[in-house]
């Protein structure tokens, strides 16, 4: 199963780097597989420092911001307990991990990770339809270089209806950000 979440890694200057990731996870959550692009900061950071933290969150706005590189003010973090890394202070759960292997022989890198510590910060509020729609739109926004613009625009139109019916202020803001990214990508064609 693929679980959408956020991964923090350590940048070259020692600061936290945040990226959305959809690792393939097993029910026991003892290990998981990340599939970053070889051009990503996350991949470079894990090659240099093979540890990080996977976060489960219900903050669809932060997921959307991270997906398009518009985090702005970095969310509050605290030091991880078992790895040199960072835990998002407002995540629901987190999984500190070490990298067991990296295979960069394909278009997408395969990173096998072992969970060395788990933590819980707060209850998972849950996703309504708008939060799901924002997550789907955020994933599409990371694929603008792979999927035709018209296809993404059509999907965004459907997702916007869901956000309009069921979203709160954060989901509307997230969808606005993602639609701006789509417009910018369309203007650059």
pLDDT digits 0-9 by tens, 90-106: 999 999 999 999 999 99
Is the pLDDT at 189 greater than 70, yes or no?
Answer: no
Are the C-beta atoms of 18 and 41 separated by less than 8 Å?
A: no
| pLDDT over threshold 70, residue 127 | no
Q: HSE of 123 in the Cβ direction (CA atoms, 13 Å)? A: 2
pLDDT confidence of residue 79: 98
Rounded CA-CA distance 92/149 in Å is 34
pLDDT score of 186: 82
Using DSSP bridges, classify how beta strands 93-103 and 51-56 pair: parallel, antiparallel or unpaired.
antiparallel
Domains annotated for the chain, with CATH where assigned, are: 5-120 (2.30.110.10), 129-187 (1.20.58.290)
Are residues 34 and 6 in contact, defined by beta-carbon separation less than 8 angstroms?
no
Contacts of 84 (CB under 8 A, 6+ apart): 10, 49, 51
pLDDT category at 125 given cuts 50, 70, 90 is confident
Q: Is the pTM of this model over 0.85?
A: yes
Position 67 confidence tier, pLDDT thresholds 50, 70, 90: very high
Angle of CA points 134, 177, 136, to nearest 5°: 20
């Amino acid at each position: 199963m693929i679980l959408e979440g956020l991964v923090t890694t350590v940048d070259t200057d020692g600061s936290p780097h945040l990226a959305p990731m959809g690792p393939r996870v097993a029910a026991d959550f003892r290990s998981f597989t990340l599939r970053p692009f070889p051009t990503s900061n996350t991949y470079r950071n894990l090659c240099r420092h093979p540890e990080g933290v996977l976060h489960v969150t219900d903050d669809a706005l932060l997921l959307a911001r991270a997906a398009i590189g518009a985090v702005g003010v970095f969310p509050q973090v605290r030091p991880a307990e078992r790895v040199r890394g960072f835990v998002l202070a407002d995540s629901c759960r987190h999984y500190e991990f070490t990298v067991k292997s990296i295979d960069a022989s394909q278009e997408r890198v395969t990173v096998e990770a072992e969970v060395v510590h788990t933590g819980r910060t707060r209850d998972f509020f849950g996703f309504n339809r708008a939060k799901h729609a924002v997550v789907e739109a955020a994933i599409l926004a990371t694929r603008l270089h792979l999927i035709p613009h018209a296809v993404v625009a059509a999907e965004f139109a459907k997702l916007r209806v869901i956000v309009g019916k069921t979203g709160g202020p954060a989901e509307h803001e997230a969808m606005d950000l993602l639609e701006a990214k789509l417009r910018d990508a369309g203007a650059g064609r």
